[in-house]
Amino acid sequence: MPITTKCQDCGQPLRVPDELIGTKVKCPGCGSTFLAVAATSLPDQAIRPAPEAPEVPAESTTNAIRETAAPPAGTPGESTPGESREPLPRPQLDDFDQEEDEDDETMEERLYERRAEHRKTERLERARRIIRPPAIGMMVVAGSFFLVALGGIGVSVFMAVNIGGMGGGAPIGAGFGTNDIAIGVYLVGAVIELVLGGLTLYGALKMRKLQAWGLAMTVSILAIIASFGACCMVSFLGIVQVGIALPFGIWATIALNDADVKASFT
């Protein structure tokens, strides 16, 4: 149903369709464009119909919408035709950043060295705790060797003085008796015990200082072997040597095979 309105410029009353109310229309009298609103109490003869709005093709409307929705040139994230996308250059580190990186690497190296030194110190302390008791025990074993050697020398002297010395006892060969052979055996045994005692003492001292692992292992094994040899001597000194040399020799051998002890030897 047509609605009556009035031109805002010339005041000419106009009649427009109700669907154009609230939109801009063109006055046929003065040619100006104004917003169509409903007017009241206007004479019917003075009212002129307003021209209908021209129909816009649907294709033109679609193109206008596309043009409006299209982003303007240069919008971030969009590239214009023919524009090549090249990767941004990596930022160059300045001298200050390079110095910081070098300082970090140096600090990490120092920290690693300190940790390695700390582990080495702990391993060395543990090796010393493990090796000290058997090393002292091997010194006692060396003392037992010296004691047995002195005993052998004493027995030889006693036999030579109190039993007649050379030529005593039953004769064997050209003037040698059984006592001569016994004195010779005791003297040879005493010399062997003295050599073993000196070697064991030297090896025990090196063992306590974590030096000469091979020598320390050798004297430990010799102590075990010598203890079995002393079993053949039915005497007080032989029994004492077995009770000392055998346990300390086994203890030293086990301690020397420990990984930390082995690694700590120089």
Q: Which residue has the higher pLDDT, 202 or 26?
A: 202
Q: Which residue has the higher pLDDT, 149 or 56?
A: 149
SS3 253: helix
Residue 217: closest CA among 253, 264, 255: 253
Burial (CB count within 10 angstroms: exposed 0-12, middle 13-18, buried 19+), residue 200: buried
Q: Would the pLDDT of 26 be above 70?
A: yes
Scan for tokens 């930390």, then name that residue.
260
Q: Which residues of 203-218 are buried (b: 16+ CB within 10 A; e: fewer)?
A: bbbbbbebebbeebbe
Tokens of 103: 């300082």
Q: Which helix (H) or strand (E) holds 263?
A: helix 259-264
Q: HEC profile for 171-225? A: EECCCEEHHHHHHHHHHHHHHHHHHHHHHHHHHHHHHHCCCCHHHHHHHHHHHHH
User: Which of these ranges, 106-115, 144-153, 176-185, has the smallest mean pLDDT?
Assistant: 176-185
Contact predicate 210/131, CB 8 Å: yes
State how far Cα 25 lies from the chain centre: 83
> What dihedral do alpha carbons 205, 208, 210, 216 form, nearest 10°?
60
Span 154-181, average pLDDT: 64
Assign 45 a pLDDT band (cuts: 50, 70, 90).
very low
What was the pLDDT predicted at 134? 95
What was the pLDDT predicted at 172? 42
**Separation CA 112–CA 115 (nearest Å):** 5
β-pairing, 13-17 vs 2-6, is: antiparallel
Beta bridge partners of 172: 176
Domain boundaries along the sequence of the chain = 2-50, 126-264
What was the pLDDT predicted at 34? 76
> What are the pLDDT digits (tens) for 217-263?
999 999 988 877 655 554 666 677 778 888 999 999 999 999 999 98
DSSP-assigned states of every residue in 151-178: HHHHHHHHHHHHS-STT-SSEETTTEEH
Q: What does pLDDT average to over the chain?
A: 75
Residue 60, CA atoms < 13 Å, CB-side half-sphere: 4
pTM, two decimal places: 0.52
Scan for tokens 């063992």, then name that residue.
207
Q: HEC profile for 71-132? A: CCCCCCCCCCCCCCCCCCCCCCCCHHHHHHHHHHHHHHHHHHHHHHHHHHHHHHHHHHHHHH
